[in-house]
Amino acid sequence: KRWLTLEEINSKEDIAEKSGLGFHVPGMFDKVIDINNCYLQKEPSNAIRLSIKQFADENNLTYFNIRNQNGLLRNLLIRTSSTNDLMVLVQFFEDDKKSINLLMEHIKTSFPEITSLLYIINPKANNTIYDQEVICYNGKDHIMEEMDGLYFKIGAKSFFQTNSEQAKVLYKKTKEFAKITENDLVYDLYTGTGTIAQYVANSAKKVVGIDSVEEGIKAAYKNAERNKITNCTFHTGDIKELFTDAFIAENGSPDIIITDPPRDGMHKKVVEQILKIGAKRIVYVSCNSATQARDLSLMNELYKVTHIQPVDMFPQSQHVENIVVLELK
């Protein structure tokens, strides 16, 4: 359901059209701002979104109501890349095959430049897709991204920075601050598709990547093979359960730790293990400075902050990626 403006509410008129396709209102999981133009993502993103909404309205396709848990059209994801690949993923709530095929065929024929056209039928209460089957309607099941001569395969469930141009800045700075030497063993926590791990691999003796998303780790291995990188290993599992003394004993104690957790930050167990290891340097990349500050305070007795570098990954918003360098006291 779309967000009604104050003018619409005060008009006391009966608002017939309450469906929307846009972005969530901050802090409101059940309201969407229905927009005509997003200035943050290049075309054909706006054209695709507007076309889908027009087609849905003309064909009486229902919009998902998260409170009532009904409706067909749930979520739309559009990803562009520097290689000109284009992924469109439509998430449906109801398994209405006729309506799903009708919409997917419309998207396919209207936008032949889409290289990866996917959909998901998600009848759960929440929008997360990591436990859902991704169905490839047309094209490939992934897009490719290039970064300083390295190529990365990105699937629907893979984490990769949305701003490719600034991601290069972020990773260059991360590598620079890590000060990796040829004898260093590096751990890359929350490695995603192994982007940072492979970006720093040519400076290190070995890099060990860990992530909880199996699809991302599979992609990391394929990316490493594609990029002819042989000194990276990747491991799947809940990091707080996998990152243990036994894991360290098997894979070696890291000289440098790079960590790039999700917005929730690192679990206390992960922080405790980092402190137990006592690596000479930690580079902490974060998209949420509040949880980053919380984690840094837990490491304050053993480490000192020596450098802070924000990177503007999200133009025209208050969000930044923040790199913090920690050195042993």
Task: Quickly state the pLDDT bin for 90 (edges 50, 70, 90).
Answer: very high
pLDDT at 165: 85
Residues forming a β-bridge with 144:
153
- Identify the band that residue 170 occupies on the pLDDT scale cut at 50, 70 and 90: very high
The whole-model pTM stands at: 0.78
CATH 3.40.50.150, the chain: domain bounds: 147-328
Report the interhelical angle of 268-277 vs 289-298 (nearest 10°).
Answer: 50
* Residue 144 · residue 153 · CB < 8 Å: yes
The pLDDT confidence band at residue 5, using thresholds 50, 70 and 90, is low
pLDDT at position 8: 66
Point out the least confidently predicted range of 8-12, 32-36, 65-69. 8-12
Answer for the pair 199, 175: CB distance below 8 angstroms, yes or no: yes
Instruction: Tell whether domain 6-140 is in CATH 2.40.50.1070.
Output: yes
Please report which confidence band the pLDDT of residue 4 belongs to, taking 50, 70 and 90 as the band edges.
low
The contacts of residue 228 (CB under 8 Å, 6+ apart) are: none
- Identify which has the larger pLDDT, 206 or 148: 206
Residues with a known catalytic role: 287
Amino acid letter for position 144: M
| Proportion of the chain above pLDDT 90, given as a percent | 72
Superfamily of domain 147-328: Vaccinia Virus protein VP39 (3.40.50.150)
What angle is formed at CA 68 by the lines to CA 65 and CA 70, rounded to 5 degrees? 60
- Average of pLDDT values for 48-61? 95
Mean predicted confidence (pLDDT) in 271-299: 96
Let me know if 284 is exposed, middle or buried by CB neighbors in 10 A (0-12, 13-18, 19+): buried
Which pLDDT band, with edges at 50, 70 and 90, does 1 fall under? Answer: low
Question: What's the whole-number mean pLDDT along residues 35-64?
Answer: 91
**Cis previous bond, 254, omega within 30:** no
Residue with token string 């970006």? 199
- DSSP letter assigned to residue 134: P
Query: pLDDT for 250-259, tens place per residue?
Result: 999 999 999 9
In the chain, CATH 2.40.50.1070 sits at: 6-140
Mean pLDDT of the region 231-259: 96
Q: Which residues contact 118 (CB under 8 A, 6 or more apart)?
A: 87, 88, 89, 90, 134, 135, 136, 137, 141, 156
Residue 277: how many CB atoms within 10 A of its CB?
16
